[in-house]
Amino acid sequence: MNQSVRCLLFVAVSFLSLLGEGMAVFALTLEAADQFGSWGVTALFLAGLLPPIFVATLVGRWVDGSALWRVWIINLCLHVVIFAVMAMAASMMLCLILMPVASICAVINGSVIFKIMPSLRGGFSVARASSFLVVATSLSGIIAPAVASWIFARSGLGTVLWCGAVGFGLLSLVAVALRWRLRETVQDSDQVRQDSSHVPAGRRPVLTRNPWMRVLLVPVAAIVLFTSAEGVSGVFYLRDITADDTGYALLLGAWSLGAVLGSLLGGTSWFDAHGSKPVLLGGGLVGAAILVEGLWPNATALLLVFLIGGLGNGLHNTGVRAAIYEFIPSARHGIAWAQLRMLINAMVALGYLLGTPGLLVESAQAIIVVSGAGTLLAVVVPLARVENFGRRTRQSATELN
């Protein structure tokens, strides 16, 4: 099989697992709301967000220091078992208990896929192959809620959970097949540990050791924080200005479509050659879109604004992945991705709190305006630092020559 075709097949099956996981989480949210009310939904979200924050470093070190393919296959099988047990038990309380385990498995899965992607990219650049995975994530975010709600209404939670189990089951079979086909080129556990030992562990988080990444993490954290806040307040604000849920869904769809386009754009050679620029440019577009959303409550005009904002979101997400590949040693990619997920989960949880109208700020529109302005500020300041840092780097290179 052509290596590029193999890469695309891998992305396609990864999409199925992401779709199954997204459907399961959405159906669990609906079931939690039906059985326990709002506190059940909050408990479910916290069960998914908080555990990876506490174990991310441990998970990342395990991924970097173990036989990568073996860890991946075992983790995928565990994911299948978790969803199967949830489906058979038909108990929401058991699902809440198992949710932390499922969320940790998801972080392991993401770390392994991130680390293994360069060896599966075939004839594509790392940025292009990585952008395909971002596209798969965006598409699953569009499709999963609609499909899950349809199946949930007709067959209940169990059927949706079985779909999640099937998705990860397919991915585990593909992982075994890829491991067998690439058995001569993949590293065994001793080689992985040996390569990992060449990079000092240190006390500082891996993501902050590189000066470029220290600069980029500011807009990354801000974008996650403020888009999460906008997501909560937007439920009230956007449904009010669109007058119905259909208009609200169209706006969310426009953002998701833009994210797909931005992900594909971020994988092009031009952005691949410009280092940190996709992260900052994408963040700027996201901030501008959120700010315009808050200042201009026109549902029709916001369709275009959300398309542009989503494009920036996809561009930013692809750029973050490319930056880690570029600035973090490959022997530390597993822990780098796990620590990124830790940062994202923490910012999402904080954003949910700050974005709740009436908690700190009463007006949903005011929260959205502040979120847009905060995102832009968090992008502009690092942009100046990136330019200064890049100028000093070029000057140093010139002096050495």
pLDDT at 350: 92
Amino acid identity of residue 110, one-letter, is: G
pLDDT at 389: 52
Asked if residue 312 and residue 224 are part of one domain, the reply reads yes
DSSP, residue by residue, 251-283: HHHHHHHHHHHHHHHHTSHHHHTTTTHHHHHHH
Asked if residue 323 and residue 293 are part of one domain, the reply reads yes
What is the overall mean pLDDT for the chain?
Answer: 83
Picking from 182, 198, 214, the residue at the C-terminal end of a domain is: 198
Picking from 179, 198, 217, the residue at the C-terminal end of a domain is: 198
- Residue-wise burial string across 169-200, b where 16 or more C-beta atoms lie within 10 A, e elsewhere: bbbbebbeebbeeeeeebeeeeebeebbeebe
Asked if residue 126 and residue 62 are part of one domain, the reply reads yes
Return d(Cα 184, Cα 196) in angstroms, integer.
20
Q: Is residue 294 a contact partner of residue 324, using CB atoms and an 8 Å limit?
A: no
pLDDT in tens, 24-66: 988 898 888 888 876 787 788 888 888 988 888 888 888 888 8
DSSP 210: S
pLDDT in tens, 255-278: 989 999 998 888 777 766 555 778
Residue 26 lies in domain: 1-198
Q: What are the residue ranges of helices labelled H in 182-244?
A: 189-197, 211-242
Choose the most confident range, by mean pLDDT, from 36-40, 119-123, 225-229, 319-323: 225-229
Return d(Cα 80, Cα 71) in angstroms, integer.
14
DSSP 123: T
DSSP 66: S
CATH code, domain carrying 348? 1.20.1250.20
Asked if residue 244 and residue 266 are part of one domain, the reply reads yes
Return d(Cα 284, Cα 211) in angstroms, integer.
21
Asked if residue 179 and residue 82 are part of one domain, the reply reads yes
- At 19, list the tokens: 């779709």
Asked if residue 138 and residue 217 are part of one domain, the reply reads no
Positive/negative CA dihedral, 314, 318, 321, 324: negative
The rounded radius of gyration (Å) of the Cα atoms in the chain is 21
Reply yes or no on whether the pLDDT at 100 is more than 90. Answer: yes
Asked if residue 194 and residue 204 are part of one domain, the reply reads no
Asked if residue 101 and residue 194 are part of one domain, the reply reads yes
Reply yes or no on whether the pLDDT at 362 is more than 90. Answer: no
pLDDT in tens, 180-228: 776 645 444 434 444 544 444 555 678 888 888 888 888 899 999 999 9
Return d(Cα 254, Cα 233) in angstroms, integer.
18
Picking from 172, 198, 224, the residue at the C-terminal end of a domain is: 198
Residue 249 DSSP SS3: helix
Q: Is residue 141 a contact partner of residue 19, using CB atoms and an 8 Å limit?
A: no
Q: Answer left, alpha or beta for residue 329, where phi above 0 means left and psi between -120 and 50 means alpha.
A: beta
Dihedral angle, C-alpha 156, 160, 165, 168, nearest 10 °: -170
Q: How many other C-beta atoms lie within 10 A of the C-beta of residue 240?
A: 13
Reply yes or no on whether the pLDDT at 122 is more than 80. Answer: no
Asked if residue 219 and residue 154 are part of one domain, the reply reads no
Return d(Cα 212, Cα 217) in angstroms, integer.
9
Residue with tokens 């956007």: 238
- Write down the number of H helices and E strands in the chain: 14, 0
Asked if residue 287 and residue 241 are part of one domain, the reply reads yes
Nearest to 322 by CA among 129, 136, 131, 127: 127
pLDDT at 301: 92
Asked if residue 211 and residue 183 are part of one domain, the reply reads no
Q: Is residue 258 a contact partner of residue 141, using CB atoms and an 8 Å limit?
A: no
DSSP 374: H
Number of domains in the chain: 2
Asked if residue 382 and residue 272 are part of one domain, the reply reads yes
Return d(Cα 285, Cα 6) in angstroms, integer.
34
Q: Answer left, alpha or beta for residue 200, where phi above 0 means left and psi between -120 and 50 means alpha.
A: beta
